Structure 1
Amino acid sequence: MREILHRIWNLRRHLILVLAPLLFLPVVFIMPLQEGKCLYVILIMATFWCTEALPLSVTALLPICLFPLLGVLPSSKTCPMYFLDTNVLFFAGLIMAVAVEDCKVHRRLALRILMCLGVNPCMLILGMMLSTAFLSMWLSNTATTAMMMPIATAVLKNLNDDMGIMQRNATLVNADEPQENESAAEESNANPEAVEERKDEVSRLEIDGPQQPNVADDEQKQKMATGKGILISIPYAATIGGVTTLTGTAPNLILDGQLKSNFPQSDEVNFGSWFLFAFPFTMLFLITGWLWLSFMYGGLNLRLWKRKKNKETEVRAKAVIKAEYTQLGPITFAESAVATFFSLFVLLLFTRDPKFVMGWSKAFKPKYVTDAVVAMTIVIIMFIFPSQKPSFKWKIDPNEPFTPNPPLLTWKKVQDNVAWNVILLLGGGFVIAKGCEVSGLSRWIGSHLHPLEHVSPSVAALLSCLVIAAFTEFASNTATSIIFLPILAELAIRAKVNPLYLMIPGVVSCSFAFMLPVATPPNAIAFTSGQLKVKDMMKTGILMNILGIIFANLALNTWGSLIFKLSTFPNWAEISINQTRAATSTSVQFLNISD
């Protein structure tokens, strides 16, 4: 029996690939035809995404085959969805990240932050979290975690070396104890009064309190806890930091893409407005998360009292970080150039259309210049700009050799380091959203959510956060956002609520995967260090999930409502409803004529 189960387990992916399309086939016949065919494709893709029966990016390509064959969307409308304006923005952000990683600007910044904050356990965890969160705003969460782990490993190696020294010292102390016991025995034999005196001392100690614990064991436990805190803080901070910017994580971009696809008149969400909403949320979440991790692993208790510091350990850890920084050498021309272009990149994105003041994009035709235009312009310039300071000595001295100066970016670097699979995933999400809209599936789902239409919008937002946060622990955040965002949008329209009121907390909750190692790639990277256990992530992550849900709803109902004007039902949603109804009636008339 065990052998049979083992073979079935080995063939599980093949069985899912064959059985899933067969099991979901009745959906096509039970539901209305167009909606059923669209849901059939979505259920197959959701199953493949959750089980990884196919690679995630390959599953994202299925609509190119299935939508035209089943008559959901023509190929001419399906294929362009894989490279929308949002995909171009994300693609440019990935290329910018390649330039930053190539010249090691991110590593220099992270080490500088750690040197400034200090290396006692609480401040070391804070330094790791701040560095990781800032980098993950601009780089992918996985790349940021992979970059920070070697720094953490070097610090932990120093802590482990100190633990070995303390254990050896404790062994030497214990080896001396028998001699002390022997001398005490001789004293008791020689002087019976000494025995009575010792008994009195023991009774007084039992009344006054227990003896002091072994200092070496206490320090060892604290260092092991600090090591866990440092390791677990990196993926958590990467996840939190990724929420801050529109390009920081895939669900944010899926929100942007689905708004542009389903609500073309909407312009509330852009790089600047999202940052204004997400940055206070990120800082609040990050600081609270740091206090929680410091309480769990950094020796911080409810009275904010820290355990006794080990000065020698702190000096050694600081020396390790300083040595890592020294190995980088002086700042190079390429680092300065990339930092300048990166700063210009961020500045132009913020000031394009910040909403509270007039942006520079008002000088151009409306909706012509988007965030993607800004990002790709900066990236193209970096393919031209030299990576070394130009020298013109060859113009003066004919004997001076002329060597070509390589640019900051080359296509080979981009080709080797860009995460192309994520771009395909985004495209797959946009195709599904378009299919739900055109086929009428989103309206069909919304029509079956009547009970929720009468629920208070704030309660509906809270419930959506709870459901999505639980679901994303077992599925990728990209797949989770693709599945839930169209449903939340349709539910909001049915309830005459601003669609952003449900979509924003939903998309933020897609990143709340703190409890399981398999929930996100950053969690898996930290778990592979071998020092973390599943129970460590479970007991720490459950409160992180709760805090994230609380802060997301707090942000939504305070400053988020002001930034995105969530208290009113927007005109762009009403226009979209009318256009969709007109398109649906036209398609129905066409089908009747064909019949």
Structure 2
Amino acid sequence: DVRAIDPKEDEHPKPGFLCKQFWKNHWQGVFSVVIPVVCLPIMLLIEGAEFRCLYLITICCLLWITECIPLYVTSLMPIFAIPMLGLMDSDKTCIQYFKDTLIMFAGGLIIALSVEYCNLHKRLALKTILVVGCSPRRLFLGVIMITTFISMWISNSATTAMMCPIIKAILEELEANNVLDIYMDESKEPAVDGKKHPTRAALAFYIGAAYSSTIGGCGTLIGTGTNMVFKGIYEGRFPNAKDKIDFPRFMMWSIPMVIVQAGLMFFFFNITHLGLFRPKSAVGQQVNAGAKVAPAVRAIVADKYVELGPMSAHEWQVAFWFTVMVAALFCRSPGVFTGWADLLNRVKIKTSPCVMFPVLALFTMPAFWTCFKHFKKKGPYPSEPIKSLLSWEFTHKNVPWGLVFLLGGGFALSTAAQDSGMSKMMGQALAFLTTWPRVGIQFMACVVAVFMTNFSANVPICNILIPVLNEVALVVKVHPIFLLFPAGIACSYAFHLPVGTPPNAIVSGYANIRIKYMAEAGILPTIFCIITVVLNSNTIHRLVYPEIDLPEDMI
């Protein structure tokens, strides 16, 4: 890079400097060429479709982890590589990118966007804070509660981005009333580019919101991409399995765990960052005295709520169609009673129709019924076209379409592994795990998932780990869901680094949080989330999925 060289210092830069600059600017291009070449012996030294598939999966895994090629572009590699390597034909490969699970996921994203589009999520957040209370601890409880709940239904990144300005307004009001200090003293932590670093009390609100959105995303099937990954891979590997990962059973499995984890998060941050059980500490004294200014903070939140105005027809309709989607998913084929899809048994109805019908309604129904006011002589005739509940421009701009490719790439690789015999080969290689206790395998899978997802995006890690666990389950003769569920959920638990998950990156940039403070704050949440997911897998799991041993039809 010529621009990086100062000719005044040296007209002929040293080779070491040039190599350093070349590597700094071109390492991604080098890796994208070197990785496929270095991995060639995997398929050249040993004949067989299973080794050609292993070669492709190894390349995709390394490219996903290093991100030398954009994640979503790497996810398109199976479209040409799988047919070229003779693993599956093009039609079967491309179908993996448009499966029922993916349509459900994309539809869920679109419906979540409609909630953002009409600001219904902001109204819900402000109302919850007003109801819970406005002392510092109650405010923090309100932040944890509403962030956890909203992130069950819309993306955790959108939830966190919405909460950040609300948290900032709350903290500024607390500081204005001498309740809490928001920023550290520059003598202890110098500002960077004029931006100060938040105090531990402020960190509790920002990081607590990020972690709560991650935990909340594990509460429903549409909460985060990893949930759809392990559902899709499981159903692709065992299409005739009696036990399904459907919407009601997923929530019955995960909601108790999410409630416990959110409660532990609130308790943990109160102890470590808000002075609970330390009444003589500086932050403890500030927080305990904060109840005196609760009316002032409540007034600020109430003003923001009043600015939204009364609940509009737009918001009411979005809430209605959102409820329709949830009800349709719950009552499709719940198992405990006859669902509407069971009654319409002429063809097999999966989850995508439950989501796409409300999506169609969002683009069809008018946001405001001004024409009826005119007919009733209560308003003028509309002078311009009435907008729909959701616009395509907003949808096209805000839906993370690349995430659909990412999930589809994982499904394609999983199907190729099964068809090529690589899955069977992997199962034979993991035969030593038969001597391990089942809970030990489950715990180790969760630890590996959490460790890997802290350094890379969680969906690729789930794409890598879940197919392996499918084969481990067959080897140790345990029901695959017993391993897949906790490990798939654990792929979301990235609490240490901004790169681990979008909510971490959002609060880190918004509040100027140093990595060391986020890494420190994530230690205990990581520990108790792993413990709770394993405990849940051996308690609640047995109520939702009573069969733990491997069924004969899966062997």
TM-score, structure 2 as length reference: 0.89
Give yes or no for contact 2:453–2:492 (8 Å, CA) kept in 1. Answer: yes
Residue-by-residue CA offset, 1:237-296 (whole Å, 9 max, x unaligned): 110000011111111101111122111112421011101100001001110111001111
Aligned in 2, Cα 1:496/1:154: closer, same or farther, shift over 3 Å? same
Structure 1 residues 216-227: aligned runs within 5 Å: 224-227=199-202
Structure 1 residues 21-32: aligned runs within 5 Å: 21-32=36-47
Corresponding residue to 2:218 among 230, 234, 243:
243
Report the residue type matching 2:33 in the other structure: V
Aligned in 2, Cα 1:486/1:386: closer, same or farther, shift over 3 Å? same
In structure 1, distance between residues paired with 2:541 and 2:382: 59
* Other-structure match for 2:485: 504
Report the residue type matching 1:22 in the other structure: V
Report the residue type matching 1:289 in the other structure: M
Corresponding residue to 2:312 among 310, 332, 339:
332
Give yes or no for contact 1:115–1:318 (8 Å, CA) kept in 2. Answer: yes
SS at match of 2:108: helix
* Other-structure match for 1:320: 300
Give yes or no for contact 2:148–2:215 (8 Å, CA) kept in 1. Answer: yes
Report the residue type matching 1:272 in the other structure: P
Give the Å deviation of 1:382: 2.0
In structure 2, distance between residues paired with 1:93 and 1:489: 26
Aligned in 2, Cα 1:162/1:307: closer, same or farther, shift over 3 Å? closer
- Segments of structure 2 that go 5 or more residues without pairing to the other structure are 1-15, 183-197
Give the Å deviation of 1:439: 1.1
Give yes or no for contact 1:272–1:353 (8 Å, CA) kept in 2. Answer: no
Instruction: Report how many aligned residue pairs link the two structures.
Output: 519
In structure 1, distance between residues paired with 2:517 and 2:119: 32
In structure 2, distance between residues paired with 1:305 and 1:464: 43
Residue-by-residue CA offset, 1:410-438 (whole Å, 9 max, x unaligned): 32222122110111111011001111111
* Other-structure match for 2:368: 388
Give the Å deviation of 1:315: 3.5
Aligned in 2, Cα 1:530/1:134: closer, same or farther, shift over 3 Å? closer
Structure 1 residues 175-574: aligned runs within 5 Å: 224-266=199-241, 267-301=243-277, 308-311=288-291, 313-365=293-345, 368-392=348-372, 400=381, 403-574=384-555
Give yes or no for contact 1:57–1:425 (8 Å, CA) kept in 2. Answer: yes
Higher helix share: 1
In structure 2, distance between residues paired with 1:526 and 1:165: 19
Corresponding residue to 1:140 among 130, 137, 155:
155
Bigger-Rg structure (1/2): 1
Give yes or no for contact 1:228–1:531 (8 Å, CA) kept in 2. Answer: no
- Segments of structure 1 that go 5 or more residues without pairing to the other structure are 168-222, 575-595
Give the Å deviation of 1:366: 7.0
Give yes or no for contact 1:383–1:410 (8 Å, CA) kept in 2. Answer: yes
In structure 1, distance between residues paired with 2:32 and 2:505: 25
Give the Å deviation of 1:164: 11
In structure 2, distance between residues paired with 1:527 and 1:399: 49
1:47 and 2:62 correspond? yes
Give the Å deviation of 1:407: 1.7
1:111 and 2:111 correspond? no
* Other-structure match for 2:25: 10
Report the residue type matching 2:542 in the other structure: S
Root-mean-square deviation (CA, aligned residues, Å) is 2.4
Give yes or no for contact 1:527–1:533 (8 Å, CA) kept in 2. Answer: yes
Report the residue type matching 2:540 in the other structure: W
In structure 2, distance between residues paired with 1:380 and 1:407: 11
When structure 1 is superposed on structure 2, of 420-429 and 397-406 the one drifting more is 397-406
In structure 2, distance between residues paired with 1:11 and 1:401: 57
Give yes or no for contact 1:235–1:523 (8 Å, CA) kept in 2. Answer: yes
Aligned in 2, Cα 1:32/1:547: closer, same or farther, shift over 3 Å? farther
Aligned in 2, Cα 1:317/1:12: closer, same or farther, shift over 3 Å? farther
Aligned in 2, Cα 1:401/1:103: closer, same or farther, shift over 3 Å? closer
In structure 1, distance between residues paired with 2:288 and 2:313: 44
Give yes or no for contact 2:180–2:287 (8 Å, CA) kept in 1. Answer: no
* Other-structure match for 1:130: 145
Give the Å deviation of 1:514: 0.5
In structure 1, distance between residues paired with 2:357 and 2:235: 21
Give the Å deviation of 1:307: 5.1
